[in-house]
Amino acid sequence: MSTGFLVRISVYRLSSPKTRDEGEATVLDISCGGMLLSQVNVASGSLPLDPFRIVIHSEGEPLPGWKAHAQVVRLRSGDPVSMAVQFTKISEPDLKKVMDLVLARQREEGA
């Protein structure tokens, strides 16, 4: 489901999960299982070469107060950097927010 809203991300290496590289990305697509992020930018300017995960935070609409942990399943380098991520940890209330958003967008597209 196509979207286009900004989220904050925290990137961490599996070998040092307490050290985070903060940044932001634009959500291009979202489903109950994950999302497609584009224009991925982190403070360090680069993503780790060793295995890493991300925490995604959304404070504003359409997912206010939302958070999920995710693993990267596809990464495209270049300008802009984009990644497809799969949710690995998400609370039931936050998953419901995603389901409600997806259903609302499907209704809009079908109308």
pLDDT values of the chain reduced to their tens digit, one per residue, 111 residues:
557 899 999 999 999 999 999 999 999 999 999 999 999 999 999 999 999 999 999 999 999 999 999 999 999 988 889 999 999 999 999 999 999 999 998 888 875
Superfamily of the domain at 2-110:
predicted glycosyltransferase like domains (2.40.10.220)
Sorted by where each begins, the domain ranges of the chain are 2-110
Q: Provide the 8-state DSSP code for 34.
A: E
Residues 6+ apart with CB under 8 A from 7: 24, 25, 26, 27, 37, 56, 57, 58
